[in-house]
Structure 1
Amino acid sequence: MKFGVVVFPGSNCDQDTVYVIKEILEQEVVTLWHKETDFDPNIDVIILPGGFSYGDYLRSGALAKFSPIMSKVIDFANNGGYVFGICNGFQILCESGLLPGALLHNTNQKFICKNIYLVPDSKETALTKYLPRERALKIPIAHGEGRYYADKETLAKMRINGQILFRYSDENGVVSESANPNGSVENIAGVCNERHNVFGMMPHPERASDDELGNTDGRLIFESLIRYIKEMND
């Protein structure tokens, strides 16, 4: 499989993501500069990495959606291509209209950087289908605007369509208000679109994928994505 990782001014997780895809998952990967207006048609997955695109001026992801490459990313997604936004990438996808809802300032109005736990909600998406069901995943977060919000009507449609990917939980997998690090509505940590080909999550799976870090729960998410797409293409 071939991945493309978009690099915006202010991205700071792009090389972490490239490293995991190339060295850990042993997949082909290229970087895509934000000013590019085209990319290799053989790319299977585009990843929008974490960071502070355009310095998070105005609002996280609000300026990045106007980058030249984003019109191509939107076309790619609308044609069924897989797009995965992590943290700032999630914010950009929401701002671009590829994902429902919005990411607001954390309830405590502070930047939060720590390990959290999450459990998959929808069990049949590319990111979640092959995840373990018997335990919560430990994945780090690092954001100031990670509080997911959508109105009640949108949330109801998302539940019906299986668009809620992950919910924040405690280490035993119990979803509760006390396990919610940022005030996200219904403990939502990640969502997808109606077609289940565009994904966004605030936690950083690329920061929990290398054996050297003592935690590889994030690798499971990437592996699920790769296995799902390969099986769909067989």
Structure 2
Amino acid sequence: MRPRALVLSGYGINCERETAHVLRLAGADPEIVHLSELLYGEKHLRDYHLLCFPGGFLDGDHLGAAQAAAHRLRHARIRTSGERFMDHLLEFIKAGKLIIGICNGFQLLVKLGLLPGLEGRYGERLVSLTYNDSGRFEDRWVSLRVNRDSPCVFTRGFKRLYFPVRHGEGKFVVRDRDVLERLISGGQIVLQYTHPETGEPTQEYPYNPNGSVMAVAGICDPTGRVFGLMPHPEAFNHPTNHPRWRRETIPPETPGLRLFKNAVEYLRETLLS
């Protein structure tokens, strides 16, 4: 059975087709759904196994990007039932399903408080993403280290990754040092920007393209089933996506494709077995 994936669209999101494509290659059955279809009750989260908040320019890519969308969803009620949309999201997580937020989708997850979800307290905002230190939009490929001790479902089996970033607000910040320490101790820091020569996390620009604290590029919740990252795995779904594909041997199963296959395999092992 192919897991059903809901790929959100609308209000400036512009990576939904690319994301749906890689999910289909990974073995899922993706459907692109406009946010208004969920809020009007025409589509229902309960009918899907994986929810993807793709990248793009959700309500603009400037200070407060995704903030308007987060405010909208926090207070939204389903037109047909009057139920809170946030309750549907929390039920989705409780049911053991998967959520991934990429770039602006990551911004949305942290501003909804679905990440980091410390101690299962979803809805509490403890981290955010703000202006890049460079003061400009960054469009480049970055080297990433994967935390092998993280519970993240999507990154199982990876040590290193190489993905593109394209954002103006990707600098990861935390409310206070205690939050950062808890993310570290819980293995919730999944990805870090690294220097390509040393392979170690770095604050050096442009290898860390935004100045994120501790070079954080992606985090997960304590269950490992809710994952947010600034780099775009869906943009590396074929060998020819790689900037040096004519000079290096790139495997047909790219890391971007493998990341989504991990999600599909997890759902088959747990919810669909």
Shift of 1:79: 4.1
Shift of 1:51: 0.7
Task: Indicate the larger mover: 184-193 or 50-59.
Answer: 50-59
- Are positions 1:162 and 2:198 aligned together? no
Inter-partner Cα distance in structure 2 for 1:105 and 1:87: 13
How many residues are paired up? Answer: 230
Partner of 2:260: 222
Partner of 1:125: 152
Inter-partner Cα distance in structure 1 for 2:231 and 2:180: 20
Q: 1:40 to 1:158 in 2, by over 3 A?
A: closer
Inter-partner Cα distance in structure 2 for 1:81 and 1:229: 8
Q: 1:123 to 1:192 in 2, by over 3 A?
A: closer
Shift of 1:119: 1.2
String of CA shifts for 1:180-206, please: whole Å, max 9, x gaps.
Answer: 221000010000112322110000000
Partner of 2:269: 231
Inter-partner Cα distance in structure 2 for 1:222 and 1:61: 23
Equivalent in 83, 98, 111 of residue 137 of structure 2: 111
> What 5-or-longer segments of structure 1 have no aligned partner?
none
Shift of 1:103: 0.2
Shift of 1:165: 0.9
Q: Secondary structure at the match of 1:41?
A: helix
Partner of 2:8: 6
Inter-partner Cα distance in structure 2 for 1:187 and 1:58: 20
Q: 1:63 to 1:78 in 2, by over 3 A?
A: farther
Inter-partner Cα distance in structure 2 for 1:222 and 1:142: 20
String of CA shifts for 1:156-186, please: whole Å, max 9, x gaps.
Answer: 1111111111011133532222232210000
Partner of 1:93: 109
Shift of 1:124: 3.4
String of CA shifts for 1:105-128, please: whole Å, max 9, x gaps.
Answer: 001111000000101114432022
Equivalent in 170, 173, 187 of residue 149 of structure 1: 173
Inter-partner Cα distance in structure 2 for 1:123 and 1:52: 29
Q: For the aligned residues, what is the CA RMSD?
A: 2.0
2:265 maps to amino acid:
R
**1:57–1:63 CA contact under 8 A, matched in 2:** no
Question: So what's the TM-score if we normalise by structure 2?
Answer: 0.78
- How is 1:184-195 mapped onto 2 (pairs within 5 angstroms)? 184-195=212-223
- Are positions 1:34 and 2:35 aligned together? yes
Q: Secondary structure at the match of 1:203?
A: coil
Shift of 1:8: 2.5
Task: Indicate the larger mover: 38-47 or 202-211.
Answer: 38-47
Q: Secondary structure at the match of 2:214?
A: helix
Structure showing greater radius of gyration is 2
1:94 maps to amino acid:
V
Q: 1:58 to 1:185 in 2, by over 3 A?
A: closer
- Are positions 1:139 and 2:163 aligned together? yes
1:160 maps to amino acid:
S
Shift of 1:142: 0.3
Partner of 2:57: 52
